[in-house]
Amino acid sequence: MKISKKIELLAPAGNFSKMKYAFFYGADAVYLGMPDFSLRTKINRFSEREIKKAIQYAHNLKKKIYVTINIYARNEHIFPIKKHLIFLRKIKVDGIIASDPGVISLVKKYLPGVDIHLSTQANTVNFEAVSFWKNLGIKRIILARELEISEIKEIKKKVPKMELEVFVHGAMCMSYSGRCLLSQWMSGRNANLGDCSQPCRWAYFEKQIGAEKKIKEMNFIDNQKKFEIKVEEDRHGTYFFNSYDLNLIEHLSELVDAGVDSFKIEGRAKSVYYLAITARAYRKVLCSLEKNFSQAKMKKEINDQKKELKKLVHRGYTEGFLLGGDPLINFFGKMEKSDWEFAGEVLGEKNGFNVLKVHNAVFLESEIEAITPQKNLKIKIEKILNENMEKVREAHGGHNGKYYFKFSRILPEMSLIIRKKPDNFT
């Protein structure tokens, strides 16, 4: 299909470095936020000074920054949010992501004219709600993940001037659009203030008082006898709520046809490798749609990118509710294994060597590939030097040390290195 409008690719940015990789590998915009006002308190590394620096960097590239203030604010948060909004007004932020009506009111007061994007936390699932928010000045709705594609299409038809944003990739919360009290109830950590302990992903055991034998396998069925699941318990326990990860790489054309304006990738806590691979994969498929590739070429591009996405550590992939079926639940809590492992970042070039920040061990004889925005490159390691420029046979991460690698070709800065795991790797 031929795309008649520009579709935005929106990526997460947990810190400044991740933001740079997101842009380098194809994102049009990123979302980020300060820990106190964001739903990712543990992994956000942005201060106001860094947000200012990020906006300057993005605008030089003609890219956009959306700042998250998507907590459900308590009284104690109101004054700090006001101060933060006054700061953001000075540095020309492109948009604010919020869900709390009180916060939205403050944004309109202190940042007049700045686009407001309604967070998925607001549970927007029908066109009347979308129309309501439009009348209050909301520019974009980040739709709930539980919507089917037919519902998205109807919403756009009923409210055509509202921008719609949809999550296309990443982890999914089992609660209703993320509005969950499990964490606060079970661990005292409030998910709606960004401090979720993820009890949905914990292992659970069946407890029988006085029972000597542990049940290893059982079936559960609903009271209408329509839905039956087999639950197995091993030494790690079992997982009742653990969702597979969302992956809609095959359905971008349908989402474009439904009227979606922005494709959003989840994962502010993920590595630069995850960001690079996901941003590149969705950018390549989007470009194929924009160029109106033939069906055969389109299918090949999608299959190629599916293979790349499978190299990432993930919980298994699902299309969620998009097509109207039941989403997959990972009852075993297992992460899907990959034959490849993220090894390092290329920081630059010096005297014929690439400077590498090593994340996981790399050996002289390792089978490696280089990740670039265009494609993967098969390369070989010819020599490794440590920080003292001494020849070594292996390089290890964990101490922020730099190593110097002589590859079979010089790699551009911000390339990534992945290593093939040995056959006996577990």
pTM, rounded to two decimals: 0.85
pLDDT value, residue 213: 47
pLDDT value, residue 200: 66
pLDDT value, residue 242: 65
Q: Are residues 132 and 29 in the same domain?
A: yes
pLDDT value, residue 365: 96
Residue 48 lies in a domain: yes
pLDDT tens digits, the chain, 426 residues: what are they?
678 789 999 999 999 999 999 999 999 999 999 988 986 655 667 999 999 999 999 999 999 999 999 998 999 999 999 999 999 999 999 999 999 999 999 999 999 999 999 999 898 999 999 999 999 999 999 998 889 999 999 999 999 999 999 999 998 776 655 566 566 556 666 555 556 666 666 665 555 544 444 545 666 554 555 445 555 555 555 555 667 889 999 999 999 999 999 999 998 888 999 999 999 999 999 999 999 989 999 999 999 999 999 999 887 888 888 988 655 554 444 556 788 999 999 999 999 999 999 999 999 999 999 999 999 999 999 999 999 999 999 999 876 779 999 999 999 999 999 999 887 554
Q: Which amino acid is at 43?
A: I
Q: Are residues 305 and 403 in the same domain?
A: no
Residue 324 lies in a domain: no
Q: Are 24 and 373 in contact (CB under 8 A)?
A: yes
C-alpha to C-alpha distance for 11 and 275, rounded to whole angstroms: 8
Q: Are residues 143 and 62 in the same domain?
A: yes
Among 288, 318, 348, the domain-final residue is 318
Residue 57 lies in a domain: yes
pLDDT value, residue 211: 46
With a CB cutoff of 8 Å and minimum separation 6, the contacts of 19 are 13, 30, 32, 54, 57, 58
From residue 20, alpha-carbon distances to 61, 105, 415 in Å are 10, 32, 12
C-alpha to C-alpha distance for 335 and 327, rounded to whole angstroms: 17
Q: Are 326 and 405 in contact (CB under 8 A)?
A: no
pLDDT value, residue 340: 93
Residue 297 lies in a domain: yes
Q: Are 71 and 37 in contact (CB under 8 A)?
A: yes
How many separate domains does the chain show?
2
Residue 251 lies in a domain: yes
Domain region containing 50? 8-175+243-318
Q: Are residues 167 and 249 in the same domain?
A: yes
> CB 20: neighbour CB atoms within 10 A?
19
Q: Are residues 113 and 165 in the same domain?
A: yes
Residue 364 lies in a domain: yes
H/E stretch holding 119 reads none
Q: Are residues 270 and 383 in the same domain?
A: no
Q: Can you give the CATH number for the domain in which 93 is found?
A: 3.20.20.70
Q: Are residues 406 and 291 in the same domain?
A: no
Q: Can you give the CATH number for the domain in which 373 is found?
A: 2.40.30.10
Q: Are residues 117 and 34 in the same domain?
A: yes
pLDDT value, residue 172: 79
Among 271, 287, 318, the domain-final residue is 318
Relative to beta strand 140-142, strand 115-118 is parallel
SS3 state of residue 348: strand
Residue 235 lies in a domain: no
Q: Are residues 18 and 150 in the same domain?
A: yes
H/E stretch holding 204 reads none
With a CB cutoff of 8 Å and minimum separation 6, the contacts of 105 are none
Q: Which amino acid is at 316?
A: G
pLDDT value, residue 175: 63
Residue 385 lies in a domain: yes
Q: Are residues 63 and 99 in the same domain?
A: yes
Q: Are residues 248 and 348 in the same domain?
A: no
Q: Are residues 274 and 406 in the same domain?
A: no
